[in-house]
Structure 1
Amino acid sequence: MKHFLKRLMGFSLGPILGAVISLIQIPILTTLLSEAEYGISTLFSTLIVNIPNFLYIGLDQSYTREYNRYKDKQNLFQQAAFLPMIVGILMFMVTIMFASPISNWLFDSPEYTYIVWLSGVWVLATVIERFILLTIRMEEKAIEYSKYTVLLKINVFIVSILLILFGMRDFRVVVFGLIFGQLLGDAILFYNYRSLLNVSQFKLDPKLLKTMLFFGIPLMLSASLNSILNSVDTTMLRNYSTLSELGVYGGAMKIVSIIGILKTAFASFWVPTAYRWYEEDKDIKHFKFISDALLFILTAIFFGLLVFRPIVMLFVGYEGSKYLIGLLSFPHLMYALSETTTLGIVFSRKTYLNIFVSLAALVPSLLINYLLTPQYGAIGAAFASCGSYIMLYLARTYFSNRTGFGFSQRKQILTIILMTIAAGFNAFDIQYRVGITFAIGLICLVIQWGTVTDMLAIKQNPNEWDFT
């Protein structure tokens, strides 16, 4: 267990430090930028971050699936990255052609076409960055992975602060910070891993590519649907509400993104570990305990955010954001938890099931957004986000169970129901909010008390468990 926790902490170090940097950056940006300006930057950031998911064609997931089986890592890297780069270049060319209308929709002005062009460069760099970071992750180089994660966050922060010091006070602070900060970090990453980028001996391997595409294309469709899911709320707010509501939504998203950083840290560590455990034929009880322990930690973080909401809100300058924190925690909570319950889909290579998973989440998102967002603005979009990601978790778990990989979800389901009730209470001004939230949190602790006893049993009988 100590070995397991040591590697987990190694992968978590970067995201935790990244969260600290975000906590410093959020109040600066939300104080200096109006809700409308922050809303524009939120829309841009949400869309650009999700674009690469359409370009990978699922080959990033195929790369991790084949990594432990393939000896020539450089060749595998280049085979996997080849098609995404081709697709990315084609998309970049199309973007240049339609830069003016894209700029007009995003920024209410056609004069920012140069930002659209820069975004295309950012996307191409992100594709390569993704495969290099996957290489570091699959080699389980925890500290090195964390180092680059922190480097990227620091660069974005430094560029943003420099722009503020030079007098910039609009959405471009966030936009340029994201673009140039990440490109600077990528330049260092590409230099240090330039051996992977040496294509002098590259020769396309149709057989390997076909194998990876067979595994990856269903995942591409699923990832594309997930990217749409992640963008629906901000797009609906942009079209059917106000930029101020979009800014309030974005402020809350920034706070709960701290959970997202921890989610990313866990996934970065867990995916290669889970693949290795599967190859080693580990007992299912190990997978179940990790899922239960993660639920316990996520529950504590969730209720901590709600109970200490006044303190949390010191980091956000928008009053309305406080009502959304609970609801907008669910995308990160449910996705992280589902990483422990969806493994049967990838282990069985039945990746086409992810398409049904994504559709199961996207449909309620569209429906709830359509019904609530035009009238209730940010709160309506937050309810849609909460509901859709609960469906994502349920669908991932259900289809994984259908493949033969699964375990009891009683604790998870009961806890999710109670957390949803707590998030709903906190979406409105309700008397005794803190007391009600604290009481619901205690009930969740009682439901999960079995996880505590399992922890004690592992400590007392470590020979019966193997978390290496």
Structure 2
Amino acid sequence: MTPKKIAAFALGPVAGAALGFIALPIITWFFSQEDIGRLAMLNVVISFSILLFSLGLDQAYVREFHEAKNKPALFKITLLPGLLLLIITLSALLYFDNIISRWLFEVDSLLLSLLVTVVVLSAFLSRFLSLILRMNEQGLAYSMSQLLPKLLLILIIGGYVVFAVTKNITNLVLANVSAILFTCVIYAWNTRNEWLLGIKENIDYSYLKSLISFGAPLIFGGLAFWGLTATDKVLLKELSNYEQLGLYSVAVSFAAAATIFQSVFSTIWAPTVYKWAAAGENLDKILKVNRYVLLAVIVLFCLAGLFSWVVTFMLPSNYNDVQWILIPCLGFPLLYTLSETTVVGIGVTRRSGFAMLAAVLALVINLLGNWWLIPKLGSAGAAVSTCASFWFFFLLRTEFAIYLWRPLPRFMLYTYTSLLVIGAVINSIYGEVYAIELKVFWLVMLCSVFVFFKNEVFEIKNWISRSKIKIQ
């Protein structure tokens, strides 16, 4: 993929994150901490629905795209089973007297139940439609489809403030549903040529069976992965309260800045590495990419450790603890991204059961950790448990991939990531007590990259110099 295409894919996540930093403080100032916690539960349900009802066929679409002769037919055959199952499930839940809104928000509301139904369907369709743009390397369209809804959300929230609209959970959910529904409409328009052709295609049931055999283990792996990313929020709701959940969700939202890196990398990496595998070339580059990603992970953790205090100037005083728990919240996006460079062997060998096993084992660790720590530490306990769990997830994926495919140097991987996680955990629990000592720790870690990654730093410096010369 050319630098121009990479920049096109990066535009959406980067600009979207910038807009998110505008929207998030506004929401914290004008909506209650409890309602922000309730909104976090909506996001949990959305992610759960996408992972469960995709049936692993979204990953099958990515895996088979470059080898499929009829790509519109591939899209239809991977979308339809999960979509039909999701519609049936949502229809059944709506039949039971607002069970959706009562469980999610502890509010008995038909409108909220209907809004949740709309947003779940929209997010599910957006997931599959976005894959068309990703795999066809339509970076600009992909980015604009992510960027415009964020603008809409800011306009709606800004309108609430200007016109003194009632700031309750219904209007907060309505703003988010409008943005996600708009996303779906944009994706549908940008991919209309592909899915319109797909509608006319017949379903090859033998092909569907082979895709399901690949995707089936990913259903359970997807559920386990959802548990990794959602157990903290669900157990905060059950073992603590919506206030702690709201505090934690704001920290996670700030840590989501790291998802710029995760989103851009994952968008580019999956199609590229499978293209390499299909052609049997450039496999040596995987090791080089791994080194660069590890370098980026170290730098981002360290910068967060040094400058997390900045967020206190953007939020109300009741969110001051966000600065401490923000750092372990980086564990999910950064360690997951790093694991994407080491897990290649599982995808290449199509042994997806090992991906499921890694997720299940990490989920068990997360469940036990959250159950033990949340009653004692609240949101900090959730952050610590999830960060540690994602380190184990990264380790398991790496070891399984090595077992299935080819060896990978990992001394530096495990040493640095262990130190980062330990630093993040201490920061979350004792950050206020040992603030100066922890700043020194993060600074030393940051400086160490100039010793252990000097070749990569030198190459980055040369690349920047060449880019400046071209611009001039």
Normalising to structure 2: TM-score of the pair? 0.91
Mapped partners of 2:199, 2:408: distance in 1:
48
Q: Given the superposition, is the C-alpha separation of residues 371 and 223 from structure 1 closer, same or farther in structure 2, using an over 3 Å criterion?
A: same
Kept in 1: contact 2:112–2:170 (CA 8 A):
no
The structural deviation recorded for 1:400 is 0.5
Corresponding residue for residue 464 of structure 1:
none
Q: Which moved more, 1:432-441 or 1:312-321?
A: 432-441
Kept in 1: contact 2:237–2:245 (CA 8 A):
yes
Q: Given the superposition, is the C-alpha separation of residues 313 and 411 from structure 1 closer, same or farther in structure 2, using an over 3 Å criterion?
A: farther
Give the residue type in structure 1 aligned to 2:37.
Answer: G
| Aligned positions, number | 458
Corresponding residue for residue 62 of structure 1:
60
Mapped partners of 2:50, 2:37: distance in 1:
22
Corresponding residue for residue 37 of structure 2:
39
Decide which of 92, 95, 98 is 1:97's aligned counterpart. Answer: 95
Mapped partners of 2:162, 2:353: distance in 1:
49
Give the residue type in structure 2 aligned to 1:436.
Answer: L
Corresponding residue for residue 455 of structure 2:
453
Query: What are the Cα deviations for residues 304-360 of structure 1, in whole angstroms up to 9, with x where unaligned?
Result: 112112213333331122221111110111111111010100000001111111111
RMSD, matched Cα: 2.2
| Aligned positions of 1:308-457 closer than 5 A | 308-317=307-316, 318-427=319-428, 428-431=430-433, 433-443=435-445, 445-446=447-448, 449-454=451-456, 456=458
Decide which of 128, 138, 141 is 2:138's aligned counterpart. Answer: 141
The structural deviation recorded for 1:380 is 1.1
The structural deviation recorded for 1:99 is 4.9
| Aligned positions of 1:173-322 closer than 5 A | 173-198=171-196, 201-317=200-316, 318-322=319-323
Give the residue type in structure 1 aligned to 2:345.
Answer: G
Mapped partners of 1:164, 1:172: distance in 2:
15
Unaligned runs of 5+ in 2: 464-472
Mapped partners of 1:27, 1:458: distance in 2:
34
Unaligned runs of 5+ in 1: 462-468
The structural deviation recorded for 1:18 is 0.5
Mapped partners of 1:174, 1:50: distance in 2:
20
Query: What are the Cα deviations for residues 211-232 of structure 1, in whole angstroms up to 9, with x where unaligned?
Result: 1111111112111111122221
The structural deviation recorded for 1:423 is 1.1
Mapped partners of 1:225, 1:177: distance in 2:
30
Kept in 1: contact 2:115–2:173 (CA 8 A):
no
The structural deviation recorded for 1:93 is 1.1
Query: What are the Cα deviations for residues 140-164 of structure 1, in whole angstroms up to 9, with x where unaligned?
Result: 2222211212123223332333334
Corresponding residue for residue 469 of structure 2:
none
Mapped partners of 2:452, 2:56: distance in 1:
38
- Secondary structure in 2 matching 1:51: helix
Mapped partners of 2:68, 2:324: distance in 1:
49
Give the residue type in structure 2 aligned to 1:451.
Answer: F
The structural deviation recorded for 1:120 is 1.7
Mapped partners of 1:175, 1:20: distance in 2:
21
Give the residue type in structure 2 aligned to 1:138.
Answer: M
Q: Which moved more, 1:444-453 or 1:235-244?
A: 444-453
Corresponding residue for residue 465 of structure 1:
none
Kept in 2: contact 1:99–1:116 (CA 8 A):
no
Kept in 2: contact 1:157–1:181 (CA 8 A):
no
- Secondary structure in 2 matching 1:140: coil
Give the residue type in structure 2 aligned to 1:148.
Answer: S
Normalising to structure 1: TM-score of the pair? 0.92
Decide which of 128, 147, 154 is 2:125's aligned counterpart. Answer: 128
Q: Given the superposition, is the C-alpha separation of residues 249 and 455 from structure 1 closer, same or farther in structure 2, using an over 3 Å criterion?
A: closer
The structural deviation recorded for 1:460 is 8.3
Q: Given the superposition, is the C-alpha separation of residues 260 and 459 from structure 1 closer, same or farther in structure 2, using an over 3 Å criterion?
A: closer
Q: Which moved more, 1:422-431 or 1:181-190?
A: 422-431
Mapped partners of 2:462, 2:445: distance in 1:
27
Decide which of 147, 156, 164 is 1:150's aligned counterpart. Answer: 147
Q: Given the superposition, is the C-alpha separation of residues 21 and 426 from structure 1 closer, same or farther in structure 2, using an over 3 Å criterion?
A: same
Q: Given the superposition, is the C-alpha separation of residues 128 and 69 from structure 1 closer, same or farther in structure 2, using an over 3 Å criterion?
A: same
Mapped partners of 1:109, 1:443: distance in 2:
47
Q: Given the superposition, is the C-alpha separation of residues 340 and 129 from structure 1 closer, same or farther in structure 2, using an over 3 Å criterion?
A: same
- Report % sequence identity: 25
Kept in 1: contact 2:346–2:405 (CA 8 A):
no
Query: What are the Cα deviations for residues 57-90 of structure 1, in whole angstroms up to 9, with x where unaligned?
Result: 0000001111111122111111111101111111
Mapped partners of 1:130, 1:51: distance in 2:
11
